[in-house]
Amino acid sequence: MIALLVRDLRIATRAGGGFGLGLAFFLILVVLVPLGVGPEADRLAPIAPGILWVGALLACLLSLDRIFALDYEDGSLDILATAPVPLEAVVALKALAHWITTGLPLTLAAPVLGVLMHLPREGYAWLVLSLAVGTPALSMIGAFGAALTVGLRRGGLLLSLLVLPLYVPTLIYGTEVVRRGAEGLATATPLLLLGGITAGAAGLLPFAAAAALRVNLR
């Protein structure tokens, strides 16, 4: 299982593997927003939590189609489906590899980009914490969507349409954690709900994604 995780990380970091693509998109979005709405702090600060979380969400979305597509094209997915390792574990490892190469860099870079959005100082720690708790759910939900659309031609658009509605609760609670933290309000409720979404996705979606893969590989 560790070898599979290392293999996916190596594929992601190769040229064309998608590593850094989400981070570059995140940076471009955060740079363009002040140019569009104005650089004034009183304009950017109220919308900073939402913009930063939307940017992270869309950045995670960019590389979802790569989770299973490369393995499907070269036949590795058929081998993994018949390997001694449970397919549910394979799905979980691929979601973890996606988070390490996409969600984790976004989480670490978010405070720097928060400066560009004039995020209040009190919100930086909550921004990092909310992304650390919420982005694994984005990767797991994305893996489920990728399993549903694997093998489809031009399935990227369909994948986006399937996954984006499922991302909405994570977006709402993640943004609320940052907003409340920046305003000095209690953050326990949205943070617990955000953690519950991640725990539920990690516990249930590997089984749903594995079932979808078995259907698509028949």
Question: Residue 153: in which H helix or E strand, if any?
Answer: none
> Quick one: angle between helices 66-74 and 87-98, nearest 10?
130
pLDDT of residue 126: 96
Enter the pTM of the model.
0.91
Contact between residue 182 and residue 119 where contact means Cβ atoms under 8 Å apart: yes
The contacts of residue 66 (CB under 8 Å, 6+ apart) are 12, 17, 18
Per the CB < 8 A criterion, the answer to whether 77 and 213 are in contact is yes
- What's the mean per-residue pLDDT of the chain? 88
Q: How far is 209 from 29, CA to CA, in rounded Å?
A: 30
Residue 106 burial (10 A CB sphere; 0-12, 13-18, 19+)? buried
Residue 48 has pLDDT above 90, yes or no: yes
- pLDDT by residue (tens digit) across 144-153? 999 998 877 7
Tens of pLDDT, residues 74-123: 778 888 888 788 889 999 999 999 999 999 999 999 999 999 999 999 99
CA neighbours within 13 Å on the CB side: how many for 119?
Answer: 27
> CA 82: distance to chain centroid?
28
Whether the pLDDT of residue 131 is over 80: the answer is yes
16: confidence class by pLDDT, cuts 50, 70, 90: low
For 42-66, what is the mean pLDDT? Answer: 90
Residue spans of the domains in the chain: they are 2-216
